[in-house]
Amino acid sequence: MNIKSFFLSRENLLYLLATAVPISFTVWMSLLNNFVIEVAHFDGEQIGILQSIREIPGLLAFSIVYVLWIFRQQTAAFLSLILLGVGTISTGLFTSTLGLYITALLMSVGFHYMETLHSSLCLQWIDKARAPSFLGRLSSLRSFISLAVLIFIFLGMHFFELSYQSIYFIGGGITTIIALIAWIGFEHFKDDVIQEKKLFVRKAYWLYYLLTFLAGARRQIFVVFAGFLLVEKFGFTIEKMVLLLAFNTLINFIFAASIGKFIGYFGEKFSLKIEYFSLIIIFILYGITDSQILIVLLYVLDNLFFTMAIALKTYFQKIADPKDIAVTAGVSFTINHIAAVTLPILLGIIWITSHQAVFFTGACIACISFFLTFLIPNNLNKEF
């Protein structure tokens, strides 16, 4: 394949955009806690506010419909990626409390709009039969890039004494450069189907909306409380947590493409049943185990099942009117993030009394999701 033909492929553009996002986001996330404590001298209240600000753009992802009044999806994706890169660069430059709040918001707007648009373009450009396998390969690619970034951060800080500012600049700069190359180099593809440009919630998609909300709740229990359990109850050091994060990323890189093929072969309904039933067991064991080996295994499996979210996306692809995809991608991000804003506070109060109750709540959420999968039609591969 020559360079010219590379820039004529929609799939290559999707791969390139998927490569650019984790470069900045992994840098931003992996350095954040140490950076705000060591450089900006944040306390618990300030980091809590920053994390809440970071989630606001996810809650407002539905607003992407208003952006599409002005820009085509592909152009909006390039602008979002540039905003993600510039927000990451700026994080290392503006170290006051207000500066970090503003740069976190910029980074998060770019990230959440980019994720919404990338998901929308994937579901529009990749045919239904190939979508699970393709999304699996994308997930594997993202994991590989994230792992490479983590290795770069470790080597750069440990052996070359790179500063936080330097790493933020490099990560954000690479993302910005990739966005500009994609914008200039790739053909601006015409939309096969003109997308709706008004906000709506379709009754026909109620099951997808509900499963998306429950998936967001499950995600928050893992992100906020599973790692906290490892540190508080099992005494994991920062070195162990970084190694575990890197191992999780490696496992996802190895298996994500296979999970995509599994979904393509067995179908979304069966795949989601496997995911949710497994999560019931995982959350129950989180609550009762005292074994460090088992808790590590559960953490790895829990993280790996995030890849099964591919099945929820391709389920929607198969039931959706093609013109609804872009707006619904934004609406679903908002629904997913409702739990991100509300659940950590409520479960944090419960955690003080009983950490078991938090994970048993997760098991109940997974149980509800499991029974809801029985409502998914068996004939998804037929045209709707």
Dist CA 285 CA 371 (whole Å): 20
Task: Tell me if residue 287 falls in helix, strand or coil.
Answer: helix
- What is the residue whose two structure tokens read 């959706």? 320
What amino acid is encoded at 290 in this protein? D
Q: Is 41 left (phi over 0), alpha (psi -120 to 50) or beta?
A: left
Reported as a pLDDT band with limits 50, 70 and 90, residue 196 is low
Exposed, middle or buried, 379 (CB in 10 Å: 0-12/13-18/19+)?
exposed
Take residue 277 and report the two structure tokens written for it: 């039933």
Task: Tell me if residue 278 falls in helix, strand or coil.
Answer: helix
Take residue 240 and report the two structure tokens written for it: 């162990």
Dist CA 322 CA 234 (whole Å): 48
Task: Tell me if residue 383 falls in helix, strand or coil.
Answer: coil
Query: What local confidence, expressed as pLDDT, does residue 170 receive?
Result: 95
What's the half-sphere exposure (Cβ side, CA atoms, 13 Å) at 102?
11
pLDDT tens digits along 72-102 = 889 999 999 999 999 999 998 988 889 889 9
Query: What local confidence, expressed as pLDDT, does residue 239 receive?
Result: 66
Dist CA 365 CA 221 (whole Å): 10
Domain residue ranges in the chain = 8-375
- CATH code linked to domain 8-375: 1.20.1250.20
The stretch 133-147 carries a mean pLDDT of: 89
Greater confidence (241 vs 261) lies with 261
The stretch 188-212 carries a mean pLDDT of: 80
Q: CB under 8 Å to 89, separation ≥6 — which residues? A: 168, 169, 172, 173, 176
The stretch 324-331 carries a mean pLDDT of: 83
- Answer positive or negative: Cα dihedral of 41, 43, 48, 49: negative
Which pTM does this prediction carry?
0.83
- Answer positive or negative: Cα dihedral of 291, 295, 301, 302: positive
pLDDT tens digits along 274-327 = 999 999 999 999 999 888 899 999 999 988 888 888 899 889 888 888 888 878
Considering the chain, what is the average pLDDT of its residues? Answer: 86
Alpha helical stretches, state H, 7-130: 10-38, 44-59, 64-67, 73-91, 97-125
Take residue 224 and report the two structure tokens written for it: 């906020």
